[in-house]
Amino acid sequence: MLRTPSGGAGRGTAAMDSGLMSIGTVLNVLREEFPEVTISKIRFLESEGLIEPQRTPSGYRKFSAEDVERLGHVLRMQRDHYLPLKVIREHLDAMERGEAVPLPARVGRQRDGEDAPEPCEGPTAARIGRAELLAAAGIGESELAEWESYGLVAALPDGSFDAEVVTVAALVAELGRFGIEPRHLRLMKAAADREAGLVDQVVAPLRRHRNPQTRTHAEARTKELAGLTMKLHAALVQTALGVRLP
């Protein structure tokens, strides 16, 4: 688990009271670099075996600094290299074994109006199959079909899904535990589409520019604006409800 030499199973009960963090604290630490991360995302990565936080006798998760470092590695490889979780897990396991394993090269793509594709410019996102999505989200075909009918998730032309849909599916499923049905989430989807449209409108001129450096800047600007819009959305919801999230 990318532990330091002092880490491992022998940390014992004494370590439970020294330097371990709650999931809310971990979320705040990670959001400095990954503003889009959520508690559900952290729980999902745990369910996929990417991290193994300790548990208190009452069942609460407790994360070490090494756990947070590993989470950072995972989120960074998803964000910067668009790698599926299986590849990330294999890479981290190899690192733990002391093997020097380079990350797979990012795949470039060509946009309309360009003379030739630029390497490492706008990587093609990782994709998963329908069966993989069902297994990752822990849902059945009928539930997925319902989510599709409300536009919460959408398959690509070849029938596969963008890997980030797994996060959406996990959140929709978790909201369902509180009685919030897919039909209730259409407004949230519509709001997200409008926010995405606003960001796209701002960066579109940069993306169409013939200068590769300008197009690269467009990707960075998109991420920056996406993070700001998500922070504003969260702040507005909290203000409307009169609550403060951890």
Per-residue pLDDT tens digits for 3-31: 333 333 333 333 334 589 999 899 999 98
Is residue 122 in a domain?
no
Instruction: Return d(Cα 86, Cα 44) in angstroms, integer.
Output: 13
Q: Are residues 225 and 131 in the same domain?
A: yes
Residue 105: HSE in the Cβ half-sphere, 13 Å Cα cutoff:
6
pTM comes to: 0.47
How far is residue 146 from each of residues 106, 132, 149, measured CA to CA in Å?
34, 17, 5
Q: Are residues 20 and 79 in the same domain?
A: yes
Q: Are residues 226 and 161 in the same domain?
A: yes
Q: How many residues does the chain have?
A: 246
Domain boundary among 78, 96, 114: 96
Per-residue pLDDT tens digits for 75-92: 888 777 767 777 788 888
| Beta-ladder partners of 127 | 162
Give the pLDDT score at 32.
87
Cβ neighbors of 177 (< 8 A, separation 6 or more) are none
How far is residue 34 from each of residues 154, 155, 179, measured CA to CA in Å?
24, 26, 29
Q: What is the CATH number of the domain that holds 236?
A: 1.10.1660
Residue 58, both tokens = 């009452």
Is residue 147 in a domain?
yes
The residue with greater pLDDT, 153 or 4, is: 153
Q: What is the CATH number of the domain that holds 65?
A: 1.10.1660.10
Which residues span the domain enclosing 33?
A: 16-96
As a whole-number percent, the residues of the chain with pLDDT over 70 amount to: 80
Per the structure, the count of domains in the chain is: 2
Q: Which residue blocks in the chain are alpha helix, DSSP H?
A: 12-16, 23-30, 39-47, 65-81, 85-96, 130-137, 141-149, 165-176, 186-207, 212-241
